[in-house]
Amino acid sequence: MEMINLLISKYWAGTITQAEQEELFRLLEEHDAAWMLTLREQYESGDVDATAVLSESSSEKVLQQLHVQLRSGRVIRYRTILKRVSVAAVLLLFAGWGTYTYFTHLRMRPITAQGLPVTTLAHFHNNTAQAVSKYLPDQTMVSLQSGSTIHYAISSTDSAYRHIQLEGAALFDVATDASHPFRVSAGGFTITALGTVFRVDQRDDARLSVQLLSGKVSVQAASGSNFSMPLTHLTPGQELIVNKTSKIFRVQSFKDEQHIADTGGASPVLAFNKVSVADVLQQVARHYHIQIKADTAAISGLSFTGTFISSEPVDNVLQVICNMNDLTFSKGPEGITVRKSN
């Protein structure tokens, strides 16, 4: 079990290599039951590092994540252990399980734990050579760079999906929700935002970069990280650079052109802020050089807020617009027709 604990510590510190990560997943697969038994024995014997104690709120968050089903029919239940044992690293490991298997599309796995909301764990991996756009359930747009992966939990009763685990680099265009801050965990740091556009890059294990394009974000070292940094707030045009090897960080300005690189060579060209759906459909039709007809009564009084990049397929654009306004669309010989959902 010592090797598992060592690799978990390296994963949490952000110093684990790809080969070590694969070895850790293999060990957890083979020795999961024995490892959890070791944790229980340590708890019962009191042989627990006092510096590793989790707060009540932190332990509850970890508990929710550990209730994600790793294998069919199994749900982990170790509420008492969570109160004493530092298993925050396990949270990231379980959220990052999809990286080892290299998911190339969204995959959901439901859980059914008594007394808990129905939850699914989603993974999305970009195995193409270009940036790929992905819309989250709250309509936050993620432009995921090549070779990068995001993991997030979706709950039937809350906004758990607004806490994202990132491996690689991505641009986030966050949907505004004042009651549910949007959080990205990457490389041992947590970035928190409401409605904003920012980029996170941690493809280099020794370096983290956070660039803010609009709105406001705060960045802090994650609980359990060995990096000491005060809560840092960024304003548009600022970039936080963290060197995890030398343990030095700085905030500097960056050029807007980097936004273009984030979106795979194409800047957002369709941006709407409470624009009527009628006008939105007209602009979409002009941009994609297509015909769009809409039921006037169905779209009367409706509006849309969102941003799309030029490489986004028109079907994806229309799907988002329609989903947010209880509409549907269909294709025919004369173009696309938008109408009220049945």
Tell me, what CATH number does 285's domain have?
3.55.50.30
Last residue of a domain, one of 38, 66, 95: 95
C-alpha distances (whole Å) from 316 to each of 154, 290, 313, 321 are: 21, 15, 5, 9
- Of the candidates 39, 23, 24, the one whose C-alpha atom is nearest the C-alpha of residue 86 is 39
Q: Between 7 and 189, name the one with better pLDDT.
A: 189
**Domain presence at residue 152:** no
pLDDT (0 to 100) of residue 98 = 38
Task: For residues 138-153, give the mean pLDDT.
Answer: 86
Give the three-class secondary structure for 255. Answer: coil
What's the Cα-to-Cα distance from 90 to each of 19, 86, 308, rounded to whole Å?
18, 9, 35
Owner of token pair 């390296």? 10
> Given a cut of 60, is residue 296 above it in pLDDT?
yes
Q: What single string gives the DSSP state of each residue in 161-228?
A: GGEEEEESEEEEEPPP-TTS-EEEEETTEEEEESS-EEEEE--STTEEEEEEEES-EEEEEPTT-S--
- Tell me whether residue 160 is in a domain: no
Report the share of the chain in percent with pLDDT over 70: 60
Tokens 């740091």 belong to 189
Taking residues 213-239, what's their average pLDDT? Answer: 87
pLDDT band at 57 (very low <50, low <70, confident <90, very high): very low
Q: What is the mean pLDDT of residues 8-20?
A: 68
> Pick from 45, 66, 95: which residue ends a domain?
95
How crowded is residue 286: how many other Cβ atoms within 10 Å of its Cβ? 11
Instruction: Identify whether 117 is part of a domain.
Output: no
pLDDT grade for 106, boundaries at 50, 70 and 90: very low
What Å distances lie between residue 55 and 47, 50, 172, CA to CA?
18, 12, 30
Whether 61 maps to a domain, the answer reads yes
Query: What tokens does 183 get?
Result: 């959080």
pLDDT over 60 at 9, yes or no: yes
Using a 10 angstrom Cβ sphere, with 0-12 exposed, 13-18 middle and 19 or more buried, the burial of residue 13 is middle
| Domain-located, residue 77 | yes
For residues 282-305, give the mean pLDDT: 90
Low-confidence winner among 143-147, 223-227, 288-292 (lowest mean pLDDT)? 223-227
Is position 27 within any domain? yes
DSSP 8-state symbol, 110? B
Whether 322 is covered by a domain: the verdict is: yes
What mean pLDDT do residues 3-22 have?
Answer: 68
Examine the pLDDT at 199 and tell me if it is beyond 70.
yes
Domain ends where: 78, 95, 112? 95
* pLDDT at residue 2 in the model: 61
> pLDDT tens digits for 61-86?
433 443 433 333 333 333 333 333 34
pLDDT of residue 228: 87
Bigger pLDDT: 307 vs 165: 165
The reply to whether 79 falls in a domain is yes
Q: 107: pLDDT confidence band, cut at 50, 70 and 90?
A: very low
pLDDT band at 11 (very low <50, low <70, confident <90, very high): low
Residue 319 belongs to what domain range? 267-340
DSSP string, 283-294: HHHHHHT--EEE
Q: How far is CA 180 from CA 62, 141, 163, 192, 331, in A?
A: 18, 16, 9, 10, 36
Give how many domains the chain has, as a whole number. 2
Most confident listed range (2-16, 110-124, 299-313): 299-313
Report the first-to-last Cα separation within the chain, whole angstroms. Answer: 56
Per-residue pLDDT, averaged over 171-194, amounts to: 87
Output the six-digit token pair for 150.
């995001």
The answer to whether the beta carbons of residues 218 and 231 sit under 8 Å apart is yes
Q: How far apart are CA 87 and CA 62, in angstroms?
A: 8
Q: Decide: helix, strand or coil at residue 340.
A: strand
